[in-house]
C-alpha cells in the first residue's frame, strides 16, 4: 500500500461539486441490538442441509421465514441458503456470509460455484462461506412477470408528456402483473427486509456474530445490517459501496459521471496500447461517430443482422465491458461496428402499445427481481416529462459520450408511476455498535461513483476504514495482491489498513 493522494479523486468528484444530497433522516430505524417488530428472541427454524445438486461438496437448504417481518406469524416463504464449510476445521474462525450484489444476483450460486475461485485458500480454510438468495431472487420465491408484457417495455427516454404518461402506465401495468404472478413477496423485496432475513440465517446457524463480504448492492445490504445489528458483526468487508442517502438527481448524475470517466480511461488506454483495435485513431471521434450512425439506423446487430443496433444498446455494451475492464473486447467490438458497410436506411420498428395480459389466459413468465427491490429501496419518482427531461439533460452534461449511465437511467425510469411510499427510503447511514468495517472501492468504478464510498465513510467515520483502489473496474477484491491481502488480513486477523493507505493500479488489460 502507499499513501493515498487526495488529488486523484478530484476529477471524479468535480461533477458533484455543488454538493451531494445529505438525504433526509427517516424515522423507524431500530437500534442495532433490536429484533424486528414482533419477532422477539425465538430462534427460527433450522436449515435442513443436503448436498447441493451442482456440487456435492457444498450444502444447500432452505429456511422458512415471514414474508412481512412486521407480522412474523403471517405467511411464510422459503429462503434458499448454501454453505461451503471451512476446509481446515481446526483453524475455523466462523461464518462468512456473502452477497454478490445486483439487486438480483444469487448468493447461493456464489457460494456453490464461484467462492472456490473468488476467495483465497486462507479464507476458505478458516470460514464457512454461506450465501443465500435474497427474497424475490433465484430459488427464494423469485419475482416473476409475464414475458409478453416485459417484451413491450417502452423507451426509457420519453420525448414528451404523452410518452411519459405511457411509460408511467406501462410501469403500473407491469407492477400489477408481477405482483399477480409473484404474490406478497413482491411487496416486501426491499433491502431492509433482506437484512431481517440475513439475521435470521445467523440465528439459525447458531452464530452470535458473523463475518460478511458484500459487493455493490451487497454492500448496501451490509451497510444496513451494520445499522440494524452492528453488535452481531465480527468483521464486515464491503466493496463497490452504495450511498443510500442520495436523491434522484445526484444518483443519476454521479452514475453518469463515473460511466463517462470509465470511457475516458478506455480512450487513454487505446492511445497508449498498440494492441488496441482503435490504436492510432481518435477513439472519442470514432465512438461519437458510431453512436451518430446508430441514431440514423445504420448499424446492424452482428448477432441479428436484420435488426438495427441503437446507440443506447452500444453504450450499454461498453458499460458492461468497463466492469472487468475488458478493453480489448470493447475496442474490437467498436472497430467492427464502425467498419460495417452502410446499409439501406432502416426504420426503427414502432413500439407496440402496452397491454396488460389477460388474467384468464395462461402466461409464460420470466424472473425479473431488479425493480421489485430497487423501487422499494429508493424514492425515485419523477412526476412529469419536464422533471424527467431536466434529469436526463443533467446526465448528458455529466456524460456526453456515454449519454448518461444506460443501466441506471433505465432503472430510475422503471420506477415512474409507482406508489410514492417505499419500504426502505434513503437516509444517512447511522452505525452505532459495529466494529471497524473495511470498505474498498475502485477510483474508476464504471457503476458506483467513488464519491459514494467517501460519502458513506464520512457518515460513519468512527466505524469505517476506506481503502481506495486507484485503478479501474467494478470488482475490487481480486484486483491485486494489495486488495486481496487487505481483505484477507482484515477477515482473519481483524487488521485494518493504515489511515490514508491505498492500493496501486494492477497491470493493465
Going by pLDDT thresholds of 50, 70 and 90, the confidence category of residue 363 is low
Dihedral over alpha carbons 98, 106, 377, 195 (to 10 degrees): -40
pLDDT in tens, 294-338: 999 999 999 898 999 999 999 999 999 999 999 999 999 999 999
Q: What is the mean pLDDT of residues 232-236?
A: 98
Strands (E), 339-436: 365-367
Contact 232, 210 (CB under 8 A): yes
d(CA 391, CA 379): 15
Contact 449, 12 (CB under 8 A): yes
pLDDT in tens, 167-192: 999 999 999 999 999 999 999 999 99
**Environment class of residue 40 by beta-carbon count within 10 Å: exposed (0-12), middle (13-18) or buried (19+)?**
exposed
- The top-level CATH class assigned to 2-141+189-245+428-502 is alpha beta
d(CA 336, CA 182): 42
What is residue 342's predicted lDDT score, i.e. its pLDDT?
76
Q: What is the mean pLDDT of residues 380-404?
A: 98
Q: What is the mean pLDDT of residues 386-401?
A: 98
Which three three-digit cell numbers place residue 421?
A: 411510499
Going by pLDDT thresholds of 50, 70 and 90, the confidence category of residue 45 is confident
What is residue 20's predicted lDDT score, i.e. its pLDDT?
34
Going by pLDDT thresholds of 50, 70 and 90, the confidence category of residue 341 is confident
Q: What is the mean pLDDT of residues 362-382?
A: 92
What is residue 44's predicted lDDT score, i.e. its pLDDT?
61
The pLDDT of residue 135 is above 50: yes
**Pairing relationship of beta strands 50-51 and 59-66 according to DSSP bridges:** antiparallel
Report DSSP letters for 246-282, one per residue: --HHHHHHHHHHHHHHHHHHHHHHHHH-TTSTTTTS-
The pLDDT of residue 16 is above 50: no
Which range is least confidently modeled, 223-237, 325-339, 343-357? Answer: 343-357
SS3 content of the chain, % helix, strand, coil (to 5): 40, 15, 45
Contact 491, 123 (CB under 8 A): yes
Please name the residues in contact with 191: beta carbons below 8 A apart, sequence gap of 6 or more.
103, 217, 220, 221, 224, 373, 377, 424
d(CA 216, CA 229): 20
What is residue 33's predicted lDDT score, i.e. its pLDDT?
41
Helix (H) or strand (E) holding 131: strand 127-132
What is residue 4's predicted lDDT score, i.e. its pLDDT?
40
What is residue 507's predicted lDDT score, i.e. its pLDDT?
78
DSSP annotation of 445: -
Contact 236, 96 (CB under 8 A): no
Cα–Cα nearest to 314, from 255, 370, 263: 263
Contact 201, 130 (CB under 8 A): yes
Which range is least confidently modeled, 138-142, 302-306, 466-470? Answer: 302-306
The pLDDT of residue 352 is above 60: no
Instruction: Write out 15-76 in H/E/C secondary structure.
Output: HHCCCCCCCCCCCCCCCCCCCCCCCCCCCCCCCCCEECCCCCCCEEEEEEEECCCCCCCCCE
Which three three-digit cell numbers place residue 231?
A: 453488535
Largest CA distance in the chain: 69
Q: What is the mean pLDDT of residues 216-220?
A: 97
Please name the residues in contact with 411: beta carbons below 8 A apart, sequence gap of 6 or more.
370, 371, 374
**Pairing relationship of beta strands 304-308 and 501-502 according to DSSP bridges:** unpaired
The pLDDT of residue 355 is above 80: no
Domain locations along the chain: 2-141+189-245+428-502
Going by pLDDT thresholds of 50, 70 and 90, the confidence category of residue 214 is very high
Q: What is the mean pLDDT of residues 495-502?
A: 94
What is residue 465's predicted lDDT score, i.e. its pLDDT?
97
d(CA 55, CA 87): 15
d(CA 218, CA 223): 9
What is residue 499's predicted lDDT score, i.e. its pLDDT?
86
Cα separations in angstroms, 283 against 28, 166, 208, 275, 365? 50, 37, 54, 14, 41
What is residue 252's predicted lDDT score, i.e. its pLDDT?
98
The rounded mean pLDDT for the chain is 89
Contact 95, 47 (CB under 8 A): no
Q: What is the mean pLDDT of residues 453-469?
A: 96
Cα–Cα nearest to 430, from 100, 68, 24: 24
Going by pLDDT thresholds of 50, 70 and 90, the confidence category of residue 35 is low
The more confidently predicted of residues 60 and 362 is 60
d(CA 432, CA 412): 31
d(CA 107, CA 112): 9
The pTM for the full model equals 0.87
Q: What is the mean pLDDT of residues 88-97?
A: 97
Question: What percentage of the chain exceeds 90 in pLDDT?
Answer: 84
DSSP annotation of 474: S
d(CA 32, CA 224): 10
Question: What percentage of the chain exceeds 70 in pLDDT?
Answer: 87
Backbone angles phi, psi at 131, to 5 degrees: -120, 155
DSSP annotation of 183: -
What is residue 383's predicted lDDT score, i.e. its pLDDT?
97
Contact 226, 463 (CB under 8 A): yes
What is residue 37's predicted lDDT score, i.e. its pLDDT?
45
Strands (E), 179-247: 210-215, 233-239
What is residue 46's predicted lDDT score, i.e. its pLDDT?
87
- Our CA angle for 199, 240, 438, nearest 5°, is 60
Amino acid at each position: 500500500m502507499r499513501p493515498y493522494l487526495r488529488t486523484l479523486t478530484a476529477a471524479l468528484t468535480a461533477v458533484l461539486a455543488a454538493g451531494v444530497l445529505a438525504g433526509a433522516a427517516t424515522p423507524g430505524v431500530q437500534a442495532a441490538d433490536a429484533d424486528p417488530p414482533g419477532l422477539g428472541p425465538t430462534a427460527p427454524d433450522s436449515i435442513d442441509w443436503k448436498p447441493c445438486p451442482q456440487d456435492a461438496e457444498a450444502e444447500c437448504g432452505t429456511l422458512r421465514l415471514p414474508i412481512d417481518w412486521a407480522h412474523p406469524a403471517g405467511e411464510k416463504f422459503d429462503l434458499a441458503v448454501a454453505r461451503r464449510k471451512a476446509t481446515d476445521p481446526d483453524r475455523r474462525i466462523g461464518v462468512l456470509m456473502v452477497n454478490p450484489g445486483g439487486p438480483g444476483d444469487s448468493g447461493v450460486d456464489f457460494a456453490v460455484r464461484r467462492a472456490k475461485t473468488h476467495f483465497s485458500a486462507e479464507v476458505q480454510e478458516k470460514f464457512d462461506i454461506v450465501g443465500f438468495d435474497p427474497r424475490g431472487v433465484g430459488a427464494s420465491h423469485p419475482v416473476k412477470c409475464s414475458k409478453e408484457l416485459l417484451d413491450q417495455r417502452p423507451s426509457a427516454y420519453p420525448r414528451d408528456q404523452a410518452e411519459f404518461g405511457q411509460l408511467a402506465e406501462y410501469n403500473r401495468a407491469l407492477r400489477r402483473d408481477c405482483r399477480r404472478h409473484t404474490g406478497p413477496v413482491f411487496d416486501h423485496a426491499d433491502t431492509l427486509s433482506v437484512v431481517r432475513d440475513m439475521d435470521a440465517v445467523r440465528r439459525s446457524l447458531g452464530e452470535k456474530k458473523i463475518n460478511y463480504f458484500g459487493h455493490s448492492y451487497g454492500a448496501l445490504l451490509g451497510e444496513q445490517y451494520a445499522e440494524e445489528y452492528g453488535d452481531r458483526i465480527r468483521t464486515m468487508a464491503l466493496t463497490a459501496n452504495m450511498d443510500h442517502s442520495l436523491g434522484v438527481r445526484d444518483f443519476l448524475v454521479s452514475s453518469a459521471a463515473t460511466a463517462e470517466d470509465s470511457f475516458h480511461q478506455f480512450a487513454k488506454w487505446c492511445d497508449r496500447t498498440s494492441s488496441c483495435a482503435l490504436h492510432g485513431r481518435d477513439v472519442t471521434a470514432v465512438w461519437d461517430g458510431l453512436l451518430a450512425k446508430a441514431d440514423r439506423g445504420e448499424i446492424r446487430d452482428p448477432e441479428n443482422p436484420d435488426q438495427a443496433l441503437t446507440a443506447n444498446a452500444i453504450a450499454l455494451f461498453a458499460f458492461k465491458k468497463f466492469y472487468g475492464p475488458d478493453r480489448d473486447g470493447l475496442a474490437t467490438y467498436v472497430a467492427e461496428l464502425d467498419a460495417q458497410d452502410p446499409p439501406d436506411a432502416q426504420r426503427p420498428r414502432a413500439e407496440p402499445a402496452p397491454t396488460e395480459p389477460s388474467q384468464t389466459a395462461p402466461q409464460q413468465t420470466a424472473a425479473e427481481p431488479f425493480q421489485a427491490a430497487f423501487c422499494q429501496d429508493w424514492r425515485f419518482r419523477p412526476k412529469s416529462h419536464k422533471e424527467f427531461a431536466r434529469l436526463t439533460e443533467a446526465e448528458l452534461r455529466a456524460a456526453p459520450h456515454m449519454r448518461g449511465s444506460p443501466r441506471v437511467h433505465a432503472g430510475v425510469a422503471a420506477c415512474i408511476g409507482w406508489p410514492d411510499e417505499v419500504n426502505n427510503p434513503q437516509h444517512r447511514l447511522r452505525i452505532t455498535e459495529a466494529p471497524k468495517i473495511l470498505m474498498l472501492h475502485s477510483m474508476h468504478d464504471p457503476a458506483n461513483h467513488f464519491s459514494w464510498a467517501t460519502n458513506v465513510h464520512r457518515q460513519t467515520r468512527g466505524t469505517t476504514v476506506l481503502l481506495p483502489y486507484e485503478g479501474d473496474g467494478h470488482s475490487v477484491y481480486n484486483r491485486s495482491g494489495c486488495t486481496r491481502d487487505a481483505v484477507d488480513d482484515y477477515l482473519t486477523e481483524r487488521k485494518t489498513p493504515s489511515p490514508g493507505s491505498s492500493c496501486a493500479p494492477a497491470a493493465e488489460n
